[in-house]
Amino acid sequence: MRLVHLAQQILASHLQPGNVVVDATVGNGHDTAFLAQCVGEQGRVFGFDIQSTALEKTLQRLQQQCPQVPVQLFQAGHEQMVQHIPQSYHGQVKAVVFNLGYLPGANHAVITQAQTTRLALEQSVKLLSREGIISIMVYPGHPGGAEETNEVSQWVQTLPSDLWSCQEHCPEQRNNPPCWIFVERI
Range of the domain at 92: 3-185
For residue 138, give the CATH number of its domain.
3.40.50.150
161-172: per-residue pLDDT in tens? 999 999 999 887
What is the separation of C-alpha 5 from the centre of its chain, rounded to a whole number of angstroms?
A: 14
Q: How many domains does the chain have?
A: 1
Cα torsion 120, 27, 47, 69: sign: negative
Whole-number Å distance between alpha carbons of 186 and 182: 13
27-80: per-residue pLDDT in tens? 999 999 999 999 999 999 999 999 999 999 999 999 999 999 999 999 999 999
